Chain A
Amino acid sequence: MGHAIGLECRECGKRHAKEPIAACSECWGALQPVYDVERVCRTFTRETIACRPRDLWRYRELLPLDGDELVGRGTGFTPLVPAPRLGRRLGIRELWIKYDAACHPTLSFKDRLVAVALTKAREFGMTTVGCASTGNLANAVAAGAAAAGLRAVVLVPQDLEAAKLAATTVYGAALVGVRGDYDRVNRLAGEVAETRGWGFVNVNLRAYYAEGSKTVGFEIAEQRGWTLPGHVVAPMAGGSLLTKVERAFRQLVELRLVADSSFSLHGAQPSGCSPIVGAWKKGAARLEPVKPTTIVRSLAIGDPADGLAALAAIRRTSGRCEDPTDAEVLQGIRLLAETEGLFAETAGGTVVAAAHRLAEGGAFDDGRPVVLLITGHGLKTTESLGGAPFSAIVDGRLEDFDAFWAGRETAHPALAVTG
């Protein structure tokens, strides 16, 4: 027997039974599970959690499960690492990286959401699951379905990065390329889910799926010794992750697992697709949809389903927004790699670049700890980096190498001294 007692509409509050439904039947708003806090309190303590395996299921009382069969063992509990060198470069006193590029098994935070969604799919007796995806979710659903013995049907824009396509089909998933942008793919997914009765993780399993993102917030708090960070910078595609980090922090406060300290949630989108940032900067009540034009494919959602909720969370927590250019995104990827040895995909570059702008704008001047959410691995988006792969190509003779290195010492004397 699970701890979630039903679903409620985040907009109008209407209660719904725990069914595979996409949205509120009244106002079409997003649904979220409601938990029996009294029951959660009985077993969800710092001590019991500390004794559990280091994966996302250690927070199971606050995930919407009803059975004992779990999909995605070993997923989550990714490193939270200090980033002092990057911090110095960005002008941030205490900087941390939550590195979901190391998430098991497909190297993005989507593995967390899929673990929850496929666990529910099995509870509902579904045998075919699917998703609309910009890439990372496609990988996670395909791998998760294979491990859970489910059939996967994945819809993506047909011009995605090659690595994300290969890392979907290898698991035996049916991969359908759709002509058009993600928003077109998403609408088709809605129609397929409706007519086929399949479990589409970000459509009719969305209320459950999205809760998986909370585990990023739970982990950050636990890894910091059960305290909340002052600032979190999150990438925004559909906008859900940022809202779920807020929900996670508030649930921990409600359960008295952490002290009620203030925190600010900041949002990052690339300038070629920034409907949420745009609304925040204008102080608008509604989002203007956009046609994405950015190399950051994983954030290229022009009509974000949870955009308004993300905007509300940013405003509620006195957060800010930034939308760096694609050039800044690439600099962000290189800066993170060169200073901390961490390779992020373009969404992570967007977060680093946005944090740079936020720091320059004084957003972190209060000196509270800052956590950047790096949600996917750079190996998935290598073609965006461009440039020459080699510093030199030599004939395999020592004098060739020495000639190359001598030239390099002349060109970069500082590098040569420390290198």
Chain B
Amino acid sequence: MSIRVRIPTPLRPATGGRGELQVEATDVAGVLERLWLDHAPLRDRICDEQGNLRSFVRLFVNDEDVRFLQDLRTPLSAGDTVAIVPAIAGGRPPM
């Protein structure tokens, strides 16, 4: 199933500058595994040494925080959007 993934600006160096990716997955954990395979440097930015999501990373499925759904086990359907969002977001990196 094709899932749209939105990448925040601070992580775009790890995706070749792309803000949006299409991946095949059936749940949120599957999306992350797919991302680690294709864009390995993303892993350390999103997860800590123990492999848990960092405290200041939020994952949304179609606008809902996955912590209100089934967390990493939240099932996905074709056309769903998964967004990776820093908890304290925004700001333009200095030029």
**Residues in B36-95 with C-beta less than 8 Å from chain A:** 54-58, 63, 65, 67-68, 85-94
* A193–B89 alpha-carbon span in the complex (Å): 9
Q: How many residues of B contact A (CB 8 A)?
A: 21
- Residues of chain A within 8 A (CB-CB) of B86 are 22-23, 28, 190
Within 8 A of B (CB), among A286-302: 286, 288-289, 291
B30 within 8 A of A: no
**Interface residues of B, Cβ cutoff 8 Å to A:** 9-10, 54-58, 63, 65, 67-68, 85-94
Q: Which residues does chain A contribute within 8 Å of B54, judged by CB atoms? A: 27-28
B91:A29 contact, CB within 8 angstroms: no
A189–B56 Cα gap in the complex (Å)?
17
Interface residues of chain A, those whose CB is within 8 Å of chain B, are 11, 17, 19-23, 25, 27-30, 183-184, 186-187, 189-194, 197, 200, 203-204, 206, 286, 288-289, 291, 303, 305, 308
On chain B, the residues within 8 Å of A25 by CB distance are 10, 93
A29 near B94 with CB under 8 A, answer no
> A187-B85, A190-B85, A289-B68 are contacts. A11–B91 as well, Cβ < 8 Å?
no
Nearest Cβ in chain B — how far from A168, in angstroms? 21
Partner of A286 from the list B55, B85, B90 (CB cut-off 8 Å) is B55
Check A206–B88 contact: CB distance below 8 A.
yes
Query: Are the CB atoms of A303 and B56 closer together than 8 Å?
Result: no
13 A-B pairs in the complex with CB atoms less than 8 angstroms apart: A22-B86, A22-B91, A27-B54, A28-B56, A29-B56, A189-B89, A193-B90, A194-B9, A194-B91, A288-B67, A289-B67, A289-B68, A303-B65
Give the complex CA separation of A191 and B10 in angstroms.
12
Most A CB contacts (10 A, CB to CB) among B68, B85, B87, B93 go to: B87
- Please, which residues of chain B bring their CB within 8 A of the CB of A184? 63
Q: How far is the CB of B43 from chain A (nearest CB, A)?
A: 13
Chain A residues with Cβ under 8 A from B63's Cβ?
184
Contacts of A21 in B (CB 8 A): 91, 93-94
The prevalent SS among residues of A at the interface is: loop
Contacts of B10 in A (CB 8 A): 25, 28
CA distance A203 to B91 in the complex (A): 7
Q: Is there an interface contact between A203 and B67, defined as CB atoms closer than 8 Å?
A: no
**Residue from B56, B68, B89 in contact with A191 in the complex, judged by beta carbons closer than 8 Å:** B89
B78 to chain A, nearest CB (A): 24
Q: In the complex, what residue of chain B is closest to A189 when comparing beta carbons? A: B90
Q: Is A11 a contact of B55 with CB atoms below 8 Å?
A: yes
Cα distance A20–B90 when bound, in Å? 10
Give every chain B residue within 8 A of A291 (Cβ-Cβ).
Answer: 68
The CA of A186 and the CA of B63, in the complex, are separated in Å by: 13
Cross-interface CB contact of A23 among B56, B68, B92, cutoff 8 Å: B56
The 7 tightest CB contacts between A and B, nearest first, are A190-B89, A204-B91, A190-B90, A193-B90, A28-B56, A22-B91, A203-B90
Docked CA distance A204–B55 (Å): 19
Contacts of A206 in B (CB 8 A): 88
Q: How far is the CA of A286 from the CA of B92 in the complex (A)?
A: 29
- CB pair A204–B68 under 8 Å, yes or no, is no
* A194/B55 in contact, CB under 8 A: no
Contacts A28-B57, A194-B9, A303-B65: A23 and B94 contacting too (C-beta < 8 A)?
no
Shortest CB-to-CB span from B41 to chain A, Å, is 13
Complex CA gap A100/B86 in Å reads 31
The answer to whether A197 and B58 touch across the interface, beta carbons within 8 angstroms, is: no
Q: A288-B67, A289-B68 are in contact. Are A303 and B90 (CB under 8 A)?
A: no
Measured CB to CB, the closest approach of chain B to A30, in angstroms, equals 6
Name 11 extra pairs, CB < 8 A, besides A11-B56, A189-B90. Answer: A21-B93, A23-B86, A25-B10, A27-B54, A28-B86, A190-B85, A190-B88, A193-B92, A289-B67, A303-B65, A305-B87
Inter-chain contacts of B89 with A (CB < 8 A): 22-23, 186-187, 189-191, 193-194, 203
- Inter-chain CA distance A44–B32, complex, in Å, is 50
In contact, A28 and B88 (Cβ under 8 angstroms) = yes
**For A197, what are the chain B residues with a Cβ–Cβ distance below 8 Å?**
92
Q: In the bound complex, what is the Cα–Cα distance between A200 and B58 (angstroms)?
A: 20
Q: Chain B nearest CB: distance from A191 CB in Å?
A: 7
Contacts of B58 in A (CB 8 A): 303
Cα distance, A324 to B58, chains bound together (Å): 28
- How close is B91's CB to chain A, nearest CB, in angstroms? 3
A193 to B91, CA, bound (A): 6
The answer for the CA separation of A186 and B56 in the assembled complex, in Å, is 14
